[in-house]
Structure 1
Amino acid sequence: MKILAIETSCDETALALVEAKGGLKSPKFRILKNIVSSQTAIHAHWGGVVPNLAKREHLKNLPILFKKLGKPKIDLLAVTVGPGLEPALWTGVNFAKELHKNIFPKAKFIGANHLEGHLYSFLLSLEYKKQKTGIKNLFPAIGLVVSGGHTILLLMKSLTRWEKLGETRDDAVGEAFDKAARMLELPYPGGPQIEKLARVGDPEAISFPRPMLNDKNYEFSFSGLKTSVLYYLRDNPKAKKADVAASFQKAASDVLITKTARAVKEFRAKSVLLSGGVAANKSIRKELSVMSYKLKVNFFVPPIKFNTDNATMIAVAAYIQFLQKKNRPIKANANLNL
């Protein structure tokens, strides 16, 4: 099955052409095209994504990117319908509707969940491609989805059945990274800048709090950690920024790793699946990999280019959704969840 996927949930305009086969028992994907047009330089001046600017750029970029695909023959057309910024989502939805009407009228048409795209991106990992035990032997699994808008811990009972164990009660971990970066006067986007600066800092220099670390649940909270950084910088104006970045990153990471490890043990998981934009953080990737090795479970994380927003993961989610014969309205839903 050949899939054309469109992703415009935030500030990345992305299209992908993917060949999928294997069904739910052994899904496999061949990436024919993966095109992403970033708007980072445009939003950097504002220190964050401006929805109407993102919409304007999507409207400009979508026809340009589509031309780069040539004249593909497809079986399935998929577009992200949420969650995300509503003005941005509508550009992708409306563009996809025009394509379906005028160019691909015979193709199946699916509205995909952006978070399911992240969740299923483990199917693009090198580890998944190498494994030979069969997908059913990877479950139960603990899925950790970490991004600028979400921090969610899931118990995946199978590829298509999961239960949400917990999520953030306030700021997502990626949002906390961006806000801490702003306090440190680092360029946008803040997450990668924190990671870069943390490499030359001491992660033990400052004892920032680990919110909800010892609570007997799988909920998260990062607003208190963010506020601690604010007060520390206020009270220590000459503090080494690298130490602040490293200590902040360690505090956030400790919470993610500890709660994931606890879930692995409680539910006797066979695998850990890491996804979302924050999964591009090499320190967090490494710590979760080491934790998984110690607990003798599989660890799956896609290549970094598939952690950040892209349309290939939307094609993967759409394929799984199509196989389940699941339909959702093809209209923007900014608050769509797992």
Structure 2
Amino acid sequence: MNPTILAIESSCDETSASVIQNGQVLSNIVATQAIHEQYGGVVPELASRAHQQNIIPVVSQALQKANIAKTQLDAVAFTKGPGLLGALLVGSAFAKSFAMGLDLPLIEVNHMEAHILAHFIDEPKPNFPFLCLTASGGHTQIVLVRSHLEMEVLGQTTDDAVGEAFDKSAKLLGLPYPGGPLLDKMAQTGNPTKFQFPISDMPGYNYSFSGIKTSILNFVKKNTAAEPDFVKNNLPDICASIQHVLIQTLLKKLVLAAKELGVKDIAIAGGVSANSGLRAALQEGAKKYNWNVYIPAFEYCTDNAAMIAIAAHYKYLAGKFTDQYVSPDPRLRIM
């Protein structure tokens, strides 16, 4: 089988469409939503409205760039969840209508599984079983990946996601939204050991980032009270120190899981996998622990439809389709 699939991603604030044929991505169009910058975070209602405006142009561009006619499609895929309910509704409703109009089968995709399967878009591809650290604004998980369709969450955050910790820390430092990438940029010229923050320790492979966020808040308040320009005068070092503690927290449990399970193939996925500090730390881990490390291209780290498309490709081959009664699930989990 050489299926040609149209995939749609609309879980948060990117409207994206991709066309994949026989496992090869032919197009991957992403429309971002700049409107959220003025609010310092994603506003769900505004995100839904922007998806409604963007989805038809984005799908049209994806088909055009792939040079694929609607009649050549074999299936339509969409993100079922997790994500913002209103945003998911726009993508799922469009996909269902599009599939019904063309009498095409429908494929639902778990957003977090798709982040992991983004590793199978390009070479090199990890070998099964492998461990994947999925780190984003909404999730932080260590997943044991046994096959394209068989995954197990070994550990996850018990409160906040690491991506949120990056963004909220950046906001405390006065950096504009989205702050995580800006904090990463500033950290590259700073001293990561200049300031010390505690590394939280949870049972098993679980994470917690609320305590780290509180310690950073208290640190900023205490030092700015004594020196009003403290953050301004020490910004690169503060950013580097914050990034250091967050990355070390992530790696501590990843190293433990890899050691106890005897897994040498290690991957990262999700928006935080674009972080330069995390990428560098994993490369160091590869040398220290003899890992085979897999890091996706930047364009497949953040939310995009190509990852939905590759996940749909494997579900198509396995005959895993859904029906018109399917509904979005904002809290969908990896099963």
- TM-score in terms of structure 2 length: 0.91
SS at match of 1:148: coil
- Give the whole-Å Cα distance in 1 for the aligned partners of 2:120 and 2:91: 24
Aligned residue runs from structure 1 range 234-273, under 5 A? 234-237=221-224, 238-239=230-231, 240-273=234-267
Which letter does structure 1 place at the counterpart of 2:318? Q
Shift in Å, 1:161: 2.5
1:139 corresponds in structure 2 to: 128
Q: Deviations over 1:18-75 (max 9, x none)?
A: 112xxxxxxxx32111100001x21000000001101111101111112222334211
**Structure 1: 4+ residue segments shifted above 6 A:** none
Q: 1:273-313 deviations in whole A, cap 9, x for unaligned?
A: 11000001011012112212332222112101100000000
Aligned to 1:165: 154
Q: Aligned residue pairs: how many?
A: 317
Where does residue 224 of structure 1 map in the other structure? 211
CA contact (8 A) 2:24 2:121 kept: no
2:82 counterpart of 1:83: yes
Shift of 1:140: 2.4
Q: Give runs of aligned pairs for residues 204-215 of structure 1, distance below 5 A.
A: 204-212=193-201, 215=202
Q: Shift of the alpha carbon at 1:324?
A: 3.1
What is the deviation of 1:269? 0.6
User: Is the CA contact (8 Å cut-off) linking 1:176 and 1:226 kept in structure 2?
Assistant: yes
Asked if residue 294 in structure 1 is aligned to residue 291 in structure 2, the reply is no
**Deviation of residue 327 (structure 1)?**
4.4
CA contact (8 A) 2:106 2:321 kept: no
Residues 194-238 of structure 1: CA distance to partner in whole angstroms, max 9, x if unpaired?
1011112111011101111xx551000001111111000001111
Mapped to 1, the partners of 2:75 and 2:283 lie a distance apart of: 35
Aligned-partner SS, 2:160: coil
Whether contact under 8 Å (2:105, 2:321) holds in the other structure is: no
Within-5 A mapping of 1:1-338: 1-20=3-22, 29-39=23-33, 41-68=34-61, 69-70=63-64, 71-72=69-70, 73-102=72-101, 104-105=102-103, 107-128=104-125, 138-212=127-201, 215=202, 217-237=204-224, 238-239=230-231, 240-327=234-321, 330-338=326-334
Structure 2: which amino acid aligns with 1:14? S
Query: In structure 1, how many angstroms separate the alpha carbons of the residues matched to 2:319 and 2:60?
Result: 30
Shift of 1:259: 1.4
Higher mean C-alpha deviation, range 150-159 or range 276-285? 150-159
Does the aligned pair in 2 maintain the 1:124–1:303 contact within 8 Å?
A: no
CA distance in 2, matches of 1:207, 1:162: 36
For structure 2, the residue ranges without an aligned partner over 5 or more in a row are 225-229
Q: Counterpart of 2:238 in 1: which secondary structure?
A: helix
| 1:139 and 1:270 in contact (8 A); partners too | no
CA distance in 1, matches of 2:123, 2:277: 19
What CA deviation, in whole Å up to 9, does each residue of 1:157-211 have, x standing for no partner? 3333332211000000001111101101101111101101111211101110111
Displacement of 1:101? 2.0
Report how far residue 142 of structure 1 moved.
1.0
Specify the SS of the correspondent of 2:290: coil
3-state SS of paired residue (1:15): strand
Q: Helix, strand or coil for the counterpart of 1:127?
A: coil
Aligned partners of 1:125, 1:144: CA distance in 2, in Å? 18
Question: Cα distance 1:158–1:33, how it changes in 2: closer, same or farther (>3 A)?
Answer: closer
Q: Partner amino acid for 2:241?
A: S
Give secondary structure in 1 for the equivalent of 2:78: strand
Higher helix share: 2
Residues 78-118 of structure 1, C-alpha deviations (whole Å, 9 max, x = no match): 0111000000000001111221122x21x221111111110
Percent sequence identity over aligned pairs: 40
Q: Does the 8 Å CA contact 2:79/2:108 hold for their aligned counterparts?
A: yes
Q: Within 1, Cα distance between the matches of 2:133 and 2:26?
A: 28
Contact 1:142/1:264, CA 8 A, preserved across alignment: yes
Q: Unaligned stretches of 5+ in structure 1?
A: 21-28, 129-134
